[in-house]
Amino acid sequence: MNDLQLFITLSPSMPHFLRFVRDHRIAGIRINSAMMYASEIEGEMKTVQSVGDGAVPLYFDVKARQLRIIGKHPSSDHLEIKINHPIEVDLPTPVIFKAGEDSALLVDVIEGTHLVFRGGPYYNVKEGESIHIRHPSLKMFDGTFPDYELDKIARVKPFFKRWCMSYVEGQDDVDTFREIIGPEPELGLKIENKRGLKFAADWKPCPNTFLVVAQGDLYVECDKPHEMLGAVRMIAEKDKAAWVGSRMLLSCVEQEVPSAADFAQLAWLYDIGYRKMLLCDDLCIDGDRLSRALDVFEAFRSYYATKT
């Protein structure tokens, strides 16, 4: 039996959640807090409770310093949004949307959280989506968690012993969250931007805590896309228990047969030391896509990971 483990991303409200929660090809399920509103948590947690013993371990992923859209202002000729953290940044500056697929020029910031753009991105943006501001002058002025995220944490805390934390930028973020959940629960620290990489570069392993390299956001947050490769390798060297997540097996979204590039990526990640891999939201949101990706991963695991 090889040591390669697969983690996936689901929400309890998804129709295929119960289909996979007892699939022991899976080492764990990440529940993305961005997928649910506080008003939905009671129903979601009833589903979590219903799975009982023998289920795949569940990890609740809380959002820390990630900038997200929490409202849109009506306008006919340009984009205006409200975000979850108050910021300050030199203007004008480009802002990236849709995981790097779209962008718009930010020209004004009103009271820290009201962002005004010249024109707008090509694609329609929605509440809950993340945005990326890469300018080095960016400053954030509130704490690690917005109030609504603290509310979510309080509501789900009785149900979880395993957690992930997005956009970790420093030890203060970790300490803040540990004060809430305590020292015993497992905690994955997601490294998703350049400030997080500086933190990871000085990482010293500690009990019940591990790094997670989030390739999706990190790919966008690095100054140049190829710089993500060095970041992924560095984190594998710093933490032998680290997870690597996102932007894997994406050909399985549309294709029955995976691309050669997808297999080559899995092989490279395995060869540099990763033994825990996490599939992204887009791949897991559909049960048939996820089933296809699981079959592909099993083929890779049985053929490559047992013979190197």
Local confidence pLDDT in tens for the 308 residues of the chain: 468 999 999 999 999 999 999 998 999 999 988 767 777 888 899 999 888 777 899 999 998 889 999 999 888 899 999 999 999 999 999 999 998 899 999 999 999 999 999 988 999 998 889 999 999 999 998 889 988 889 999 999 999 999 999 999 999 999 999 999 999 999 999 999 999 999 999 999 899 999 999 999 999 999 998 999 999 999 999 999 999 998 999 999 988 899 999 999 999 999 999 999 999 888 999 999 999 999 999 999 999 987 65
> Which residues are 212's β-sheet partners?
190, 243
Residues 51 and 118 in one domain: no
pLDDT of residue 1: 41
Residues 166 and 277 in one domain: yes
CA atoms within 13 A on the CB side of 204: 1
Q: Evaluate whether 43 touches 147 at the Cβ level (below 8 Å).
A: no
Range(s) of the domain holding residue 113: 69-140
* Cβ atoms within 10 Å of 15's Cβ, excluding its own: 8
The radius of gyration computed from the CA coordinates of the chain, to the nearest angstrom, equals: 19
pLDDT of residue 207: 94
Residues 74 and 195 in one domain: no
The C-alpha atoms of residue 88 and residue 107 are separated, in whole angstroms, by: 12
Residues 104 and 77 in one domain: yes
pTM of structure: 0.93
CATH number of residue 171's parent domain: 3.20.20.60
Residues 52 and 186 in one domain: yes
**What tokens were used for 121?**
């991105």
Residues 219 and 281 in one domain: yes
Residues 233 and 186 in one domain: yes
Point out the domain boundary residue: 101, 124, 140: 140
Q: Where are the alpha helices (DSSP H) in the chain?
A: 17-20, 41-50, 147-156, 171-181, 194-201, 215-221, 227-238, 260-271, 281-284, 287-303
Residues 85 and 54 in one domain: no
Point out the domain boundary residue: 105, 140, 175: 140
Contact residues for 154 (Cβ-Cβ < 8 A; gap 6+): none
pLDDT of residue 79: 95
Residues 194 and 233 in one domain: yes
Point out the domain boundary residue: 88, 106, 140: 140
308 in a structural domain:
no
Residues 178 and 59 in one domain: yes
Domain count, the chain: 2
